Structure 1
């Protein structure tokens, strides 16, 4: 579990490279900083009240008590181990009576909170002030992520007599949505927030007429590789144990990702005549996103189907921003929102009782029972995140301001926000220099 926690943390620097390579050279440091800063901001909040708000005792399954483990009181030390016996437990018992140190569970879930916040930044690349981003990240984590994490990840726990000794979130325990590792809490949540934030922020200057090509595709490929590597901690680690479920989710994660990458490349080849490295990187991320909620509930054929559908659908979905006119800079909506919805809904279609979750979907004789539950869970998280993000974004816009000035945007966010540049270009003169600056 410690190794899985470290793998999930590695996903955030991986995301920084993935996003950083896709922006223009004058904005790469700013893009990386938005991911890295999420590590610091969310980490501090998690230590003070975030974990407690996500996993503390609650009423009606809506939000944990932020005071219960304020400053992680009672959760630090060698005896803070989950135990189903309420007379012995230090901290909280984990769903399924899983016995791992509470310190490890706190660390593992922290990494999920960090990556979720960092994902949003891709939708607003090239134009969001760094100070506004830092404030947004702190407020959004508090009022959106922590409650949704409670709904989706916090399970009921019972004693040996079947009495509930810890009441978890309503989406998991009352609606019985299957979201093994965060299709709703992470990807739909971040994707809906990205859509709302980029709508409030507005389009980049010159978009979509001015080409805004990725400046460093090797960075993109490196980031995608680190994301895939770290995702095994994300999905297999969510078993909270070295067991068959961890092994099964490791395999379904692998196969879905492979299928999604090939499906994205096939769409590119048919549509554009070329299969690109950017498409390969984006396709594998789309597969990882889609298999996240479903990795414990499908067999190999189901995983391949989810990956293929997500890869093709997300490849087509990224073009919607041009038709609908919203500037989602790095396709957070097209990959994370669409991929998260596909993965969450397809549980209701291809889940099989053979898999660890033990639930059958429509195609395996389970009828519509699980499908409607998945749809309601996805819809609620999408609506909650979108509406709350609009409120937060407008509040920041009319106080400290969200957007960089036109001059700052032209110069680049690296210089205007951080007084740094990623690259030292050789000096050139006259018209050649002007052309190089404009291209950058």
Structure 2
């Protein structure tokens, strides 16, 4: 497989005609489907093998291990494990189409998701009915077709699924481009549509100048709707400042124009867990908040400014300075490719085995990854102090390396030529290099 992958780089696309280039794109798309089918077979075989050894840990452990191999989050790895089981064990027609490249992995995901509550027999019937149609359908259309047949075969299971979905209602936030973020409310269709209609009525009234307590100020209906929704959810009056701490990290040079003259006053700031913010935008946020609602905390870095080594411990409204250091340093869960928000301040070397509660031995984890690492065969070790690095070893012996980002985020470091090897490296430095070399 590695040889096949490497051979793709040798394809001379410049020597092809336009017809051949389009044909190449189509064939590569079929190859992706066939590769997904092969991954599914391997994943299901891994699941079966592990169930025979440690059945109590297989659900989380295999999903996390597959996620690391596929460079994706643990929850996405869980879904692929479920997809693999359905394809290999319950839906032979869909599996055959995926193996042939006639359908994509996205289409397979949609079909399997829409039939998740069906019995094995009903799922096989959906598989049989849609076998001829799926190659002609987009992923979304394939999901709708599967949902239609599922509702016909077992309406009761579809109703139960909808009832379960209501119990899973929630509010989530995720980063968006250009310093924005998505605040998503997942709720029952009727209530969500009603809330949206109420927001639009209010926004149209504001834009039309019919609200005495709020002026449009050049905003369109969409902008007013967003402002009203955020203000109401935060319990604020019009014009009131948001009192929640967001931990905006920026250099003194970018904030105040003081400090190291070699650094740029336009060096971007960072909101942990959400990414970089241009310096002018960050300064505008602070100026708009007003002096009464801004707290400044000094962060002490390594000499090159890359890594956080300490911070002010005094902060009136909150406690837990060590936890804040881990959140600021690690940004998101330290499991490679996870990217989830930090929930647990975790000991890399377990406290029950004598691991110290320190910045060096600590790392930020999401709840899922913190639980998984306690399972049989999993091990996380600290291999470097600054920049803070950990090595994750899975039950099958694969190792994955994680490195804390620079304090201001990835991309904030200027390119540096590799330093020549020094003859007087300390024993500790040589040991650290050896740890990373053996982990790789």
* Pairwise same-fold verdict (TM > 0.5): no
TM-score tier by shorter-chain length is under 0.3
The structure with the greater share of residues assigned to helix is: 1
Structure 1 length-normalised TM: 0.25
Structure 2 length-normalised TM: 0.25
